[in-house]
Structure 1
Amino acid sequence: MLTHTAARRPRTILLTFAGRRDRMTLLTYYVERAIERGLIDEWHVWDFARNTADKEWLRQRFPVTQTTPSNSLEYFPHQRRLALGGKRTVLRCSVASRSDAHLGLRRVDGEGPSYEIVIGGWNNQASALRAFDDAQSLADVTARDPLHQPLAIAATPDILPEFGFANVEAEFGVGEIKVFVQGREALNASIPIPPGTFDVLYRTGYGSNGEWLFPETEEAPARLFVRGPSTDYPPGAMFYNSAYQYYGANVDRYQNDIFLKCDDDIVFFDLDRLAEFIDFRRRNTGYFLLSANVVNNGVCAYFQQASGAIPPGFDDYEMPRGGMCGSLWGSGAKAQRLHEFFLKNTAAFRDAARAPICWTERVSINFISWLGADLTHIPDIMSDDEHDLCYGVRKRSRKVNAIYPRFLASHLSFWKQDAEMDIDRILSGYRALADRELHARAPRKEPPEQEEAPISLSA
């Protein structure tokens, strides 16, 4: 039904751990242009927002949700409405969940109830159909009467597989609802369905993360990923492990793809050289991580000054010890000066770009790329993903990391810098740069990149 198991062409997938709205606006603008140019196939936006306002913005801005969390009963809307009454109608989807896959039909017109279909509830032992006279009781589980009885319930032990997707078909006929999972009948309820239009909702919860694929949104490039901790996670595991675990568990689906990962406060990247960066990444499998040449990144700033993009008399950008922290990382004033210099001298940074730089120490992972084939080296649990990707994971892959100077990106700030920076002023400058870059000219026509040998192994 869907292509979650079918062979497909290699994709370029961008990951962003989101989402500070005030920081992401420029990134969203650049990524949309990259998608329009066919440079990025999918944008996986991971909801790691820290406040309600940012979470709500993510749901509005990225309405297609691909994964649903284990630790929430929140319903997510499908981008399709269902008209029922008078003829047979089928709702199709695929879901990967160990238990508790829920489909909601929230009535938006006509007289009658809203409905909820539970597949593999009660620890994957039963399935059920519920009706709610009040649509609010469907969407808000806490508002329900705890003694509310289902219209139908059936024993369906292990109907959802532990691994992989199950194809689901919900048939709505005249006076009946049938639900099939992998061709097996899970529910058969003889009930009249008053005609009307319904929002389609979906969720998991009760300790089960879920992944959902619908035919109508299968080709949507931007998808929101919302996941909770797995039940087997140790206490205190860092939030981002859920993302790495997801890709590692699905390496068969992603092993031929190229991954880009950028911070949510990337405020510029060079669209005209993104294709070149991706092509270099694809052809050079001997690197584990490939980093963009990032403005406001301690290691990159050292090489930017060494290449002449930053003149010797303009601050001093030392090589951070072991690639970590350093004076730029700790100084908002220094970062402010660097951003303002870059905004006035963007061409100098482009023109000074040179051959790839092999790098075996730590580097801030503000904008990086890896191959899907290397997902097997990334563990489920990392206490510091930047450290582990630069050292332990790289060594397990028996590869080196590198910086690609020809592809520029700009990183707004590290937490240590924020208090000293005029963020609004910097963002205003980058908005003006985006206007010049994306509106005032066509993409530059450049000669094909020549293959060059890496120039160094360390500072």
Structure 2
Amino acid sequence: MIDGKRVIAWTPYGRTRTYSLLIKYLQRDVERGLIDEVWAFMNTDPVGQEADIAYAHELAERYPWFHVKHRPEGVDLGNLPKQRYTGLAYREMTDPDTVYLRFDDDVVYVHESAVENLVRARIQMPAPVAVFPIIFNNAICSYFLQACQKIPIEWGEVKPYCMDPNGWASGPFAVKLHELLLSHIEAGTVEDLYLHHDFQLAPGTQFSVSCFASLGSMYAGLDQPGILVPDEEESWHTIHRPLATSVPNVVRADSVVSHFSFFTQHPFLNQTNLLDRYRELADKAVA
């Protein structure tokens, strides 16, 4: 718990390759008393992902705080890609005394102060739909980092657009970002990458939702508790709901995580040793 609120970290789960890093950081923060439960919302294919499914169940058997969650029965969304099913997870997030932390399954680094700072910010600012950390390898966060002179403009200017050609689509830019963050992690100077202040996102600004904090009380207060309309979670949290409430979402200045890759960057990142370097750090988190 943090400031009297339960904290549940959850993930639209699918890839052991990267989730095996994230779980180390979540385990660290469970053991520190910051996270109460960890949920894996299964977003897997029954054929072709047998090893990924088995890994999630192994974690559930090993840790009493880890829980496997499944899509609700009786909900037909047609022949949509599995990424569209993640919005169904919020039907289980209606406890008004809980802060929910969403992590993509390829978040590969969580700074030691990130969860506590993000949750406290979430509690102190109940009005926004979502409060985001500084997400390395997120286009709009890269725009803010450039505005604060934390990453060089010479790498390619990033505009405040979630699918910016440099901040979202460029593999070489992502490699430089990860190398910069890793150098700070290894030197123990991640705090030097904090933003000068929190940044607001104008209502209607689409933002890649690789990690954010939200309130169970918000989902409990919907006309149908926990049911997002529209049900696509990124659009609901960053476009539709902020426009309906006229409240900006917030990027918190003192909370850092790393999102490994957008599909546009895979060919470049997969040729590097960056994931191996992140894995070495994750192993040390629970050593």
TM range (shorter): 0.7 to 0.9
Asked if structure 2 preserves the Cα contact closer than 8 Å seen for 1:308 and 1:352, the reply is: no
CA-CA distance at 1:329 after TM superposition: 1.4
Q: Secondary structure at the match of 1:14?
A: strand
The aligned amino acid for 1:275 is: E
378-387 or 301-310, which deviates more: 378-387
Report the Cα distance in structure 2 between the residues aligned to 1:325 and 1:384, rounded to whole angstroms. 21
Instruction: Give the number of the structure whose residues are more often helix, by fraction.
Output: 2
Task: Say whether 1:432 aligns with 2:259.
Answer: no
Q: Is 1:316 aligned to residue 147 of structure 2?
A: no
- TM-score, normalization by structure 2: 0.85
Find out whether 1:223 has 2:67 as its counterpart. Answer: yes
| Residue pair 2:11, 2:40 contacting (<8 A) in 1 also | yes
Please provide the CA RMSD for this pair: 2.4
Q: Which amino acid aligns with 1:318?
A: V
User: What code does the residue aligned with 1:291 have?
Assistant: F
Q: What letter corresponds to residue 279 of structure 2 in structure 1?
A: R
Partner of 1:29: 24
Where in structure 2 are the equivalents of 1:141-220 lying within 5 Å? 220=64
Match of 2:177 in 1: 338
Identity %: 23
Is residue 268–residue 430 contact of structure 1 (8 Å, CA) maintained in 2? yes
Q: Which runs of 5+ in 1 are unaligned?
A: 1-8, 65-216, 440-459
Counterpart for residue 356 of structure 1: 198
Structure showing greater relative contact order (alpha-carbon pairs closer than 8 Å, 6 or more residues apart): 2
Aligned 8 A contact 1:374 1:397 in 2: no
How many equivalent pairs are there?
269
User: Cα deviation per residue 1:123-148 (whole Å; 9 max; x = unaligned)?
Assistant: xxxxxxxxxxxxxxxxxxxxxxxxxx
Report the structure, 1 or 2, having the larger strand content: 1
Residue 290 (str. 1) matches residue 131 (str. 2): yes
1:20, distance to aligned residue in structure 2 (A): 0.4
1:357-396 superposed matches below 5 A: 357-360=199-202, 361-375=205-219, 376-377=221-222, 379-382=227-230, 384-396=232-244
Match of 1:420 among 263, 268, 285: 268
Question: Is residue 2:18 matched to residue 1:20?
Answer: no
Q: What is the TM-score when the length of structure 1 is the normalising length?
A: 0.54
Q: How does 1:250-329 map to 2 (within 5 A)?
A: 251=94, 254-313=95-154, 315-321=155-161, 323-329=162-168
Counterpart CA distance in 2 for 1:345 and 1:334 is 17
Aligned-partner Cα distance in 2 for 1:337–1:300: 15
Q: Does the CA-based 8 Å contact 2:133-2:252 persist in structure 1?
A: yes
1:409 to 240, 247, 257: 257
- The answer on whether the counterparts of 1:309 and 1:349 sit within 8 Å (CA) in structure 2 is no
Q: Could you tell me how far apart the structure 1 residues matched to 2:27 and 2:171 are?
A: 29
Q: Which amino acid aligns with 2:58?
A: Q
> 3-state DSSP class of the match of 1:305?
helix
Equivalent position amino acid for 2:107 in 1: I
Distance in 2, Cα, partners of 1:312 & 1:318: 8
Distance 1:383 1:373 in 2: 18
How far is the alpha carbon of 1:430 from its aligned partner?
Answer: 1.1
> After the TM superposition, which residues 33-48 of structure 1 pair with which residues of structure 2 at under 5 Å, given as runs?
33-48=28-43
SS in structure 1 of the partner of residue 74 of structure 2: coil
Q: Contact between 1:13 and 1:43, CA under 8 Å: does it hold in 2? A: yes
Structure showing greater radius of gyration is: 1
2:61 aligns to what? 63
